[in-house]
Amino acid sequence: MFVLEVCAPVCTTELGEVARRSKDFADRGVKVIGLSANELSDHEKWVDDINEVNNVNVDFPIIADHERKVSALYDMLDHQDITNVDTKGIPFTVRSVFIIDPKKIIRLMITYPASTGRNFDEVIRVIDSLQLGDKHRITTPANWKKGDEVIVHPGVSNEEAEKLFPGFRTVKPYLRLAKSPF
């Protein structure tokens, strides 16, 4: 239970936010899975707490990783804060997000310190960018939001860009902007 008490405040808000945004993930064809440093036996009560506190229904799986085996494999242990350990002296996890594509390739890794909750607006933004780029041969600039201009992929010739993105504009030979394709 100690692990839950240390982890619960921020994790409870994060998993509640993921559950609240389940339609956002489903609309994008994204399957969500959680990883917890808690015992499986703790999950039922914790999920009840998450649902109650956030007025949601957690309906995605949460892997119990109380021995931190998966966390160690994915470098998710807190090596910076030597006080952030459980009663057995095992480091707690930092807050990591992995986006894994249908080919099982890790496309994104974001790690937050244990004390800072994750930004799920950013996670959704990155998913949109990756999916758009995979479909339309574009990349996205800094602070891009859905509907903003996109960058024509550097591998696309000007001739092809004119067909794919009529009226694109060249800022620099390596930076060509186009209207968002969606």
Q: Which active-site residues does the annotation give?
A: 11
> CA–CA separation, 133 vs 124, rounded Å?
14
CB 33 within 8 A of CB 60: yes
Q: Which residues contact 83 (CB under 8 A, 6 or more apart)?
A: none
> CA–CA separation, 115 vs 10, rounded Å?
8
Q: Which residues contact 101 (CB under 8 A, 6 or more apart)?
A: 107, 130, 134
β-pair type (150-152, 175-178): antiparallel
The CB-based long-range contact list for 70-76 (8 Å cut-off, 24+ gap) reads 70/35, 71/35, 71/37, 74/98, 76/35, 76/111
